[in-house]
Amino acid sequence: MSRMRHDNAEPMVRGYAVTHPPGAPVVLPQPPGWHQLLMALSGVLTVEADTGTWVIPPQRAVWVPDGVHHRLAMTGRVRVRALYLASTLALPHGLGAGCRAVNVPPVLRELVDHAVRRAPLYADRAADERLLGVVLDLLETLPAAPLQLPLPRDRRALDVAAALRDDPAGDQPVDQLARAAGAGRRTIERLFLAETGMSVGTWRQRLRLVAALELLAAGEPVSRVATAVGYSTPSAFGAMFVRHMGTSPGRYFAA
């Protein structure tokens, strides 16, 4: 009797689990009316949307609200876990407004993995409702992770961003990049700050961190990664990584 009721009811949560090899970008099912919580249990998942890029190493997750079209790029063999949450659910403060990357502690990682395997979850099943409530409560308390590379909207600033992304190790002065985009330095700095929340210099450093995470996940040694993203020595790169991620590259991926 309970089974028939669930068959006729719309679930509040659906789950999706798949392991992807490295390769071409992937587009997961994006049905309208559903938010997504995407997590990588292994490998690195890069979420690309019109508003920016989010790099999700192991034990991190990204929140993608309903209506945000995106695609995924895989670095290494990626075990993807995705929770689809009905857009009619009452969400905690901080979720739903835009994409957001978060660090995922072990307890939440296990709960999300369990919810994906248990899904679909139904509002009229008490155990399902309790499970979802704990997941949402834990998400609300998590600090955002510095894994987002937001994109500016202005065409001139976008041209500068594209030039930086094409050469993460480059050291072209902002004045030169701005002139190539048809603007002055002050204009480009103002646009970046207004549209990404970062100066051009800070955005370039975040770009290097994002690029480094993908290379490290692919198994590249730290010395080669440091050179590829514009650092003269592995120690200088390591200091930057610790400053932003709180630990060394080796310990970060080992964790």
d(CA 247, CA 255): 10
- The 3-state secondary structure of the chain reads CHHHHHHHCCCCEEEEEEEECCCCCECCCCCCCEEEEEEEEEEEEEEEECCEEEEECCCEEEEECCCCCEEEEEEEEEEEEEEEEECCCCCCCCCCCCCEEEECCHHHHHHHHHHHHHCCECCCCHHHHHHHHHHHHHHHHCCECCCEEECCCCHHHHHHHHHHHHCCCCCCCHHHHHHHCCCCHHHHHHHHHHHHCCCHHHHHHHHHHHHHHHHHHCCCCHHHHHHHCCCCCHHHHHHHHHHHHCCCHHHHHHC
pLDDT value, residue 2: 34
152-254: which CATH number, 3.40.440.10, 1.10.3720.10, 1.10.10.60, 1.10.645.10? 1.10.10.60
pLDDT value, residue 3: 35
Is 244 within 8 Å of 146 (Cβ atoms)? yes
CATH architecture of the region 2-141: Sandwich (2.60)
Amino acid at 201: G
Cα torsion angle, 171, 176, 182, 183, sign: positive
Name the pTM for this structure: 0.75
CB atoms within 10 A of CB 238: 16
Cis peptide before 11 (omega within 30 of 0): no
Ordered per-residue pLDDT tens for the chain, 255 residues: 233 345 557 899 999 998 887 766 677 777 889 999 998 888 788 888 888 888 887 778 888 889 888 888 887 778 889 999 999 888 877 676 678 888 888 898 899 999 999 999 998 999 999 999 999 888 877 777 767 888 999 999 999 999 999 999 999 999 999 999 999 999 999 999 999 999 999 999 999 998 898 888 778 899 999 999 999 999 999 999 998 888 888 887 665
Burial class of residue 87 (count of CB atoms within 10 Å of its CB; 0-12, 13-18, 19+) = middle
Q: Where are the domains of the chain?
A: 2-141, 152-254
Burial class of residue 229 (count of CB atoms within 10 Å of its CB; 0-12, 13-18, 19+) = buried
Which residues, other chains included, contact 103 with Cβ-Cβ below 8 Å and sequence gap of 6+?
59, 60, 142, 143, 145
